[in-house]
Structure 1
Amino acid sequence: MPDGRKDSAEEILSAFAVEPAHTKATLDLYLKQYPELASELIDLSLELEMVDPTAEDGIDTDSPIVNAAWAAFVGGDVNDAPITAASFTREVANGMGLKLAALMGLRDRKVEVESLPKAFSARLSKALATPVARLMEYLAGPQGMPVGASFKSDAKPEQKPKIAIKQLLAECGHTPEQISNLLKED
């Protein structure tokens, strides 16, 4: 463990490397004590993670970015990665030009699959690194109930009917022009 003295960056990184466990807690301790080395500590942690596959609190394997990188590394198909709620990230929303609330509505399966234009579905599947068929299968599933909904209600929460993509985008604050641009066929 690091002691309170001023060590060189190399000594601090070496001390981190020889820690018996490279868990999130260990990384957090070093990041707290040496914030100026945050980038180097995180890079080293990721390198050590690859060396020690049994390490706890590892890489988020539900991330489409991680799945794509791993598939490229092993020479596999990115499309083998399953689509999960965790696949719908801020980066996907930004890349698509969607407000995060709209992407979360898609994640929660609030949209009628039939209302999705083919071009939009293709762009979303590409952003999520999954085939269009797998995306449609995911979106056609039952809606997700908001976490804690049953604790916030006196009555049993009920699922709302699915809505058209245009309605979701409008409810999330997209302008009519933005909606038109998002849903246009290429």
Structure 2
Amino acid sequence: MDQAQNPKNEESADSNSQSKRNPLERLIVWGGITILLIIVGIEYRAKQSYDASIAALQKVANGVRDVPIEEARELMVGYSQEHSSQSDDQGSKTYSYQWFSLFKGGTYQLRLVEDEDHLLKAFDGPAFAEDPEVLAAKIKAANSDVGESNPPLIGNALPQGPDGETISEGSTAEPQKTQEESNLSKEDLLN
């Protein structure tokens, strides 16, 4: 019986030693988890602060009133760097703000442009263009001067709609010509 109890005791001793980890291994695992949490926290803070600043600027710069540049500068939240005002190519003063990020270093930047009356003229940044609504508005504004275009003429053929009817500039579809009218017009062209 002593021999029967010994294998059970050895198995329980092996399972206890396997469940306990080496203190160095535990330190490495918890250190890795801590580092990942710090990275996620830094990225989350940068994104949330940047988004809060953009939302605040969009709220006050809605076209109802002019926004003083000082008021716009006070709306910046949690930035890590502010570059002093500089003149851009057009002579306007600009204020640049940057939010610290480990992976998107150049993305979380914002530039405020001041006009000659010390009002907010414009604001933009690289990550701001990623917003689909803003990108769609910029594309629409860029293409607003392009009117409705007619399909190109190939040779002397008029464009046709999906049902095979000829489309003219003034109407959506032109009635089909009869075979006789088509033959007459061909004869007139040959003469």
**TM tier, smaller:** under 0.3
TM (norm. structure 1) is 0.20
**Radius of gyration: which is bigger?**
2
Relative contact order higher in (CA < 8 Å, ≥ 6 apart): 1
TM (norm. structure 2) is 0.20
Which structure has the highest strand share of the two? 2
Which structure has the highest helix share of the two? 1
